[in-house]
Structure 1
């Protein structure tokens, strides 16, 4: 299933001198303390321990007090209520503890526009220009829909069409940019070796969000996803969405889906793809680690492509995941917290994180900055952001009431099996989702 890379024991050795900000030093300032709260997930704590050490060494008079835990939300919640909020938080808005969502709802996070409109840590331009396109304007960073930034992006995880770069290179195949090119390639593949065009993790159809959301954004614009995420009437049953759903159905309808796909689990379909039974599969960068012991065709090399679009010069949306940093509005040392945030986007920090985790910060230069710390597969897959007109796309549903029996994602993705088996039309698919959204709206109204 979907997972992140475990942190390695290897940590980059760096001197404090290499991370001194050319813009800001605290050498002559009074002694200051920075209290940071860090969620400890699969990446471990080695990277964060190193960042604390380097930040203190490069900012004379600064003492960083770090609390790091897998249950950091439960630890800081009573502190926030008591008026002792940390200065800096690394915790996602999707955490089960609900701490960040509560801070968003209460407008209790510091506006970070000045950080991103200011110079980056190296003093070579604005920090905003360093961030991967599309992320800062998403609800992950601008939660109120007004493009004002209250959460900063940490790492990003692109998801798209995984393919075997070696096979494409050896057969002089171009990665398709449009739906027409995609289906034409399906015919070409039949002549080369008979492999199918596409497969997916059949009994786990939620993986198809990596195709569906970019396809809808291409047909309707990103604003359409905001409407869907908020269960607006008509948001899932309109001309643009139906066109995107039709492209998905056409994969099976026109004979391009690997036989047996709908009955496979994630490892089975991924293995079939790696053995050369299908050219593409929807997935993310974690697939390399997840399938490290799986059999594969000779010379297999991971690469990732965006979902096809109607026109070659359209925006090519890359479905993305993004963890977050934030600074509470009640932070006692907000300016030092902002300096720490800028520091985390430095090349040295980005490189150290890549070595410790195998993942990358959500910056445009991260792939090249950390190239020598990444496997060939991860380097190739993160290259998806460098495709022409590529833009990050993040989809996050509004929370449903606690007693609501509707799971929006299940209502959207579970029907894919019936659609691929020609047991349901795309119109029925859309109508069923609209009915589920109507129930969610009713439950939300009743809860208020």
Structure 2
């Protein structure tokens, strides 16, 4: 996989928070990190289970939490830490919360020694590989947390308060849930309502014909229809994958995730690739986009040099300085346009999924305490605190009542309401990072959008990559 040296610190933060599409340490290092080690000490005795303590937390036991020090910071976690201490006063002075950008190198010795923290925000450039951690049996099953009563409504289990797909994201082909994704990201085609109206006298195009017409109008005024980070073309799937699902149905993405033979040769894939390639052929892509990184492409877009960009809801924070220069920017997200009336899914179909992955190590001394901390974080109070601090949704469903959201976040919330049950959640980027990032992204989609490869050639190449991954016995396979 490629080096992380080309990424800015902010880039690494956002990518990890959103998808886990990050360059991970070599498998040998990860295997070492996930291997069993020596005796890390005694586990805390369980506490007394009660209505206020459904996870039977030891009310005087120490708690050890390690947070990724990224774009979300750690204040939201420290605030939840204070809530934990208030609930269990005897833990005062015993709850340790450390922040680092170097998760893997910081925690590897502790995992090796059988002395991991009780709760870890496993994110960032040094994110530990989940497939390895799961396969090495290093994580605790979070089912007790999910089945515990929620803080806000004891009649509802925690699992019943979460947004669609969050629980499934933390599973790896079985019933156990190993990861709790705390943030929630909406992906799609991001644009300025004001700029779209000014340049093309239009609202967001609901059909592909309308999309092409808008791009043609923009071109005549010297404005590109689209831009994207050509150095990191795995951004393209943020809008391309739900487009494929919209055309051919969610089943197409399921087959792709499962590495089924010829999954990429589905007609829906070809139709979507042809449509995006048409943007290049007709000159609707900002010149120079193949050479731009994510920040450069976002800057050009925010400055009005292009109307549309495939991205995630972190873009509101990441492009804040440019967006603030135009107080009437009206940031918004659009779902994939309809290709034709024969599309299998309705307009509004969108990709949304969890980010900022939390884990409780199997060898944690105080696993119930780690889960209780997550239960507190998934309360309405903690969730709204996070939203206000970092302008990102959490995985708590409906946790935004009474909040005034910034335009992009408000648009993302509206997009989720419009989508209803038509939310897709591809898993390829979680399960097979190298395949998604370097091979499909850089090796094929980037080449196609730069005009160096036709859609047919890109599909053939991607199918070959997928087949190689499926046949590689060293890569653990997952199904949904």
Please tell me the TM-score bracket, short chain as reference: 0.7 to 0.9
Structure 1 stretches lacking a partner, 5+ long: 6-21, 401-405
**Within 1, Cα distance between the matches of 2:84 and 2:412?**
31
Residue aligning to 2:121: 90
Alignment partner of 1:279 is 2:307:
yes
Deviation at 1:322, TM superposition (A): 0.9
Other-structure match for 1:115:
145
Of 391, 394, 400, 2:423 maps to 391
Aligned residues: 419
Question: Aligned partners of 2:180 and 2:266: how far apart in 1?
Answer: 34
Residue number among 112, 115, 133 corresponding to 1:103 in the alignment: 133
CA shift digits 1:93-132 (9 cap, x unpaired):
x863636544311334333334334432111633223222
Per the alignment, residue 162 of structure 2 pairs with 131
Deviation at 1:91, TM superposition (A): 1.7
Distance 1:60 1:351 in 2: 24
Matched residue, 2:380? 347
Q: Is the 8 A contact 2:163 2:395 kept in 1?
A: yes
Please say if residues 229 and 397 of structure 1, whose CA atoms lie closer than 8 Å, have aligned partners that are also in contact. no
Q: In structure 1, the residue corresponding to 2:61 is in which secondary structure?
A: strand
Q: Secondary structure at the match of 1:216?
A: helix
CA drift of 1:208 comes to: 0.9
Match of 2:78 in 1: 49
TM-score by length of 2: 0.73
- The Cα shift of 1:214 comes to 1.9
Query: Aligned pair in 2 of structure 1 residues 50, 29: CA closer, same or farther (>3 Å)?
Result: closer
Aligned to 1:13: none
Matched, 1:328 2:361: yes
Selected match of 2:237 from 195, 209, 213 = 209
Is 1:347–1:366's contact at 8 Å kept on the other side of the alignment? yes
Provide structure 2 residue ranges, at least 5 long, that are not aligned to the other structure: 1-6, 15-49
- 8 Å CA contact retained: 1:88, 1:328: yes
Are 1:301 and 2:334 counterparts? no
Q: After superposition, where does 1:246-261 map in structure 2 within 5 Å?
A: 246-254=274-282, 256-259=284-287, 261=289
Given candidates 175, 184, 194, the residue that maps to 1:156 is 184
Aligned residues of 1:210 and 1:319 also touching (Cα < 8 A)? no
Q: Is the 8 A contact 2:223 2:305 kept in 1?
A: yes
Q: Which whole-Å CA distance do the structure 1 matches of 2:239 and 2:68 have between them? A: 30
* Native 8 Å contact 1:177 1:312 kept in 2: no
The residue aligned with 2:46 is none
| TM-score, length of structure 1 as denominator length | 0.77
Q: Structure 1 CA distance, aligned partners of 2:186 and 2:466?
A: 28
What residue in structure 2 maps to residue 16 of structure 1? none
Q: CA deviation at 1:349?
A: 1.0
Q: Encode CA deviations 1:192-244: one digit per residue, 9 max, x unaligned.
A: x6744323234442321212222233345556445545655423233232222
Q: 1:356 aligns with which of 389, 395, 402?
A: 389
Give a deviation string over 1:8-44, Cα, whole Å, max 9, x none: xxxxxxxxxxxxxx95159x99743142332332233
Q: What whole-Å deviation, never above 9, does each CA across 1:37-76 have from its counterpart, x for those lacking one?
A: 3233223333322222221112344455324132444444
CA distance in 2, matches of 1:127, 1:69: 26
CA contact (8 A) 2:254 2:426 kept: no
Q: How many angstroms apart in 2 are the aligned matches of 1:168 and 1:38?
A: 43
Q: Judging changes above 3 Å, is the alpha-carbon distance between structure 1 residues 36 and 382 closer, same or farther for their aligned structure 2 residues?
A: farther
Query: Hey, what does 1:14 align to over in structure 2?
Result: none
Distance 1:306 1:117, change over 3 A: farther
Matches within 5 A, 1:306-325: 306-309=335-338, 310=343, 313=346, 316-320=349-353, 322-325=355-358
Shift of 1:432: 1.6
SS in 2 for 1:32: coil
Q: 1:323 to 1:182 in 2, by over 3 A?
A: same
Cα pair 2:249 2:344 within 8 Å, conserved: no
Kept in 2: contact 1:86–1:328 (CA 8 A): yes
2:63 is matched with which residue? Answer: 35
Contact 1:202/1:261 (8 A) holds in 2 = yes
Report the 3-state secondary structure (helix = DSSP H, G, I; strand = E; otherwise coil) of the residue aligned with 1:66: strand
